[in-house]
Structure 1
C-alpha cells in the first residue's frame, strides 16, 4: 500500500496548521510503516488530500478517473475561514456550498474532532468518515527547563509570561489577547506566529502588530525547537480563539505540561475539561481572572499541566499513524482493492 499525501502550496502553508498537519501525517505514517509519497506523478494506491484549492480538486479528479480512492482531511470549514484574511468573511458565505461539493467527492473523510464532523455534516455531506486527531509528537514536545532558560535569555523576559502560538488572525482572538494584556501590565504577553502574511490582514490587526502595548511582543515565526522552549518557559498558554477544528498549538502546549487557558467553544468539549486539564473562559474579564489565578497558584498550574500531558499522550503521532493505516486499509478494501 502506497499513499499520496497531498497539500497544495506547501511552501506557503508550511507555517500554518495544514502545513504542520501534513508533517505530522508524514511522521505518523513512518511510525506505522506505511509507504507514502508527496509526488502526484508517482504511483500510489490511495490519495490523502489536505487542502481544497484547485490543485486538490485536480488530484481528486485524476484519482476518480483512475479508480483511486480518496481520503479527504477536513482542515477547512466555512466557519474557520471567517475573520482571517482580507475578504475572508465574504468568501466564507460561498465556501459552505463549495466545501460541500468538494468533500462529497471523497470516499472517506477525516475529522480532527467530533465538532468538525458536526459542522461538515450540517452542510449536508454524507460521505462516511472518522475522527482522528492531527496529533502531537510527545517525545519532541515535552517540558525542557534548559530550553525554557534559553528562551527567557534570548527574549530578555523575566517575570510572569503568558504565551500564545497562532497566526495573527482576528479569529484567533488577537484583539482579546492584547486587551487582556493591557489589564495585566505586570505580565509579559508573547504571541508567536508568522507576520509574513501581514499585508493580507485587516488594517486593525496590522495596527496591533505594528504598535502593541509595552508588555506585548510579536516575535514572528519560531522553529519547533524554539517553541519547546517557549511552552516550557510560559506560566500560561492563553488561546482565546473563537473558532478551531482542533488547535495543534494547544496540543503542543498540553504536551509540554503548560497550564492552558482556552475560550469555552464547542471544539474543546469532551476532551478538554475545565478545572481538570485546562481552564476555560468566555470573556476577557474571566480570562484576566484565570491568568492571575494560574500565575499566583504555582501548584495548581503545575497540576493542571501534568493532567494536560495525559491528553497529549492519547494523541501521540504513533497512535495517529496506526489509526490512519487501519482507515486506509478499510477504504481500499471497500473500494475492492487489497492493501499490501
Structure 2
C-alpha cells in the first residue's frame, strides 16, 4: 500500500495549521511503516488530500478516472474561514455550499474532532468518515528548561509570560489577547505567529501588530525548536480563539505541560476539561481572572500541566499513524470489493 499525501501551495501553507498537519501525517506514517509519496506523478493506491483548492479538486477527478480512492481531510470549514483574512466573511457565505460539493466527492473523510464532523454533516455531506486527531509529537514537544531560558533571554523577559501561538487573525482572538494584556500590565504577553500575511489582514489587526501595548510582543514566526522554549517558559498558554477544528498549538502547549486557558467553545468538548487539564472562560474578565489565578497558584498550574501532558500523549503521532493506517486499509479493502 502506497499513499499520496497531497496539499497544494505547500510553501505558502507551511506555517499554517494545514502545513503542520501535513508534516504530522508524514511523520505519523513513517512511524506506522506506511509507504507514502508527495509526488502526484508517482504511483500510489490511495490519495489523502488536505486542501480544497483547484489543484485538490483536479486531483480528485483524476483519481476517480483512474479508479483510485480519495480520502479528504477536513481542515477547512465555512465557520473557520470567517474573521480571518480580508474578505473572508464574504467568502465564507459561499464556502458552505462549495465545501459541501468538494467533500461529497471523496470516498472517505477524516475529521480532526467530533465537532468538525458535526459541522460538515450539517452541510448535508453523507460520505463515510472517521475522527483522527492532527496529533502532536510528544517526544519533541516536551518541557525543556534550557530552551525556556534561551527564549526568555532572546526576548529579554524577566516576569510572568502569557503566550499564544497562532496566525494573527481576528478569529484567533487577537483583539481579546491584547485587551486582556492591557489589564495585566505586570505580565509579558507574547503572540508568536507569522506576520508575512500582514497584507491580507484587516486594518484594525495591522494596527495592533504595529502599535501593541508596552507589555505585548509580536515576534513573528519562530521555528519549532524555539517554540518548545516558548511553551516551556510560559506561565500560561492563553488561546482565546473563537473557532477551531482542533488547535494544533493547543496540543503542543499541552504536550509541554503548559497551563492552558482557552475559550469555552464546542470543539474542546470531551477532551479539554475545565479544572482538570485546562481552564476555560468566555469573557475577557474571566480570562483575566484565570490567567492571574494560574500565575499566582503555581501548584494548580503544575497539576493542570501534568494532566495536559496525559491528554497530549493520547494524540501522539504514533497513535495517529496507527489510526491512519487502519483507515487506509479499510478504505482500500472496501474499494477493491466494490
TM-score scaled by structure 1? 0.99
Q: What's the counterpart of residue 222 of structure 2? A: 222
Measure, in 2, the Cα distance between the counterparts of 1:191 and 1:104.
Answer: 37
Q: What's the counterpart of residue 164 of structure 1? A: 164
Is 1:290 aligned with 2:285? no
Measure, in 2, the Cα distance between the counterparts of 1:332 and 1:61.
Answer: 18
Q: What's the counterpart of residue 127 of structure 1? A: 127
Query: The residue matched to 1:79 in structure 2 has which SS?
Result: helix
Measure, in 2, the Cα distance between the counterparts of 1:96 and 1:78.
Answer: 5
1:210-249 maps to which residues of 2 (within 5 A)? Answer: 210-249=210-249
Query: The residue matched to 1:209 in structure 2 has which SS?
Result: helix
Could you tell me how far 1:278 is from its partner in structure 2? 0.2
Query: The residue matched to 1:217 in structure 2 has which SS?
Result: strand
Q: What's the counterpart of residue 141 of structure 1? A: 141
CA-to-aligned-CA distance 1:217-258 (integer Å, 9 cap, x gap): 000000000000000000000000000000000000000000
Measure, in 1, the Cα distance between the counterparts of 2:20 and 2:156.
Answer: 28
Q: What's the counterpart of residue 320 of structure 2? A: 320
Q: Which runs of 5+ in 1 are unaligned?
A: none
Is 1:209 aligned with 2:222? no
Could you tell me how far 1:337 is from its partner in structure 2? 6.5
Query: The residue matched to 2:75 in structure 1 has which SS?
Result: coil
Measure, in 1, the Cα distance between the counterparts of 2:90 and 2:337.
Answer: 42
Query: The residue matched to 2:306 in structure 1 has which SS?
Result: helix
1:75-114 maps to which residues of 2 (within 5 A)? Answer: 75-114=75-114
Could you tell me how far 1:335 is from its partner in structure 2? 0.3
Measure, in 1, the Cα distance between the counterparts of 2:286 and 2:337.
Answer: 54
Is 1:67 aligned with 2:104? no
CA-to-aligned-CA distance 1:274-325 (integer Å, 9 cap, x gap): 0000000000000000000000000110010000000000000000001000
Is 1:173 aligned with 2:176? no
1:176-191 maps to which residues of 2 (within 5 A)? Answer: 176-191=176-191
Could you tell me how far 1:60 is from its partner in structure 2? 0.3
Measure, in 2, the Cα distance between the counterparts of 1:306 and 1:208.
Answer: 34
Measure, in 2, the Cα distance between the counterparts of 1:337 and 1:199.
Answer: 50
Measure, in 2, the Cα distance between the counterparts of 1:317 and 1:209.
Answer: 34
Count of residue pairs brought into register by the alignment: 338
Measure, in 2, the Cα distance between the counterparts of 1:326 and 1:307.
Answer: 28
Measure, in 2, the Cα distance between the counterparts of 1:163 and 1:207.
Answer: 20
Q: What's the counterpart of residue 48 of structure 2? A: 48
Q: What's the counterpart of residue 329 of structure 2? A: 329
Measure, in 2, the Cα distance between the counterparts of 1:322 and 1:304.
Answer: 28
CA root-mean-square deviation: 0.8
Query: The residue matched to 1:336 in structure 2 has which SS?
Result: helix
Q: Which runs of 5+ in 2 are unaligned?
A: none
TM-score scaled by structure 2? 0.99
Query: The residue matched to 2:11 in structure 1 has which SS?
Result: helix
Measure, in 2, the Cα distance between the counterparts of 1:79 and 1:27.
Answer: 29
Q: What's the counterpart of residue 310 of structure 1? A: 310
Structure 1 residue runs of 4 or more that deviate by more than 2 Å after TM superposition: none
Measure, in 1, the Cα distance between the counterparts of 2:56 and 2:182.
Answer: 43
Measure, in 1, the Cα distance between the counterparts of 2:275 and 2:79.
Answer: 27
Measure, in 2, the Cα distance between the counterparts of 1:165 and 1:337.
Answer: 45
CA-to-aligned-CA distance 1:84-135 (integer Å, 9 cap, x gap): 0000000000000000000000000000000000000000000000000000
Query: The residue matched to 1:335 in structure 2 has which SS?
Result: helix
Measure, in 2, the Cα distance between the counterparts of 1:121 and 1:158.
Answer: 48
Measure, in 2, the Cα distance between the counterparts of 1:337 and 1:226.
Answer: 48
Measure, in 2, the Cα distance between the counterparts of 1:97 and 1:316.
Answer: 34
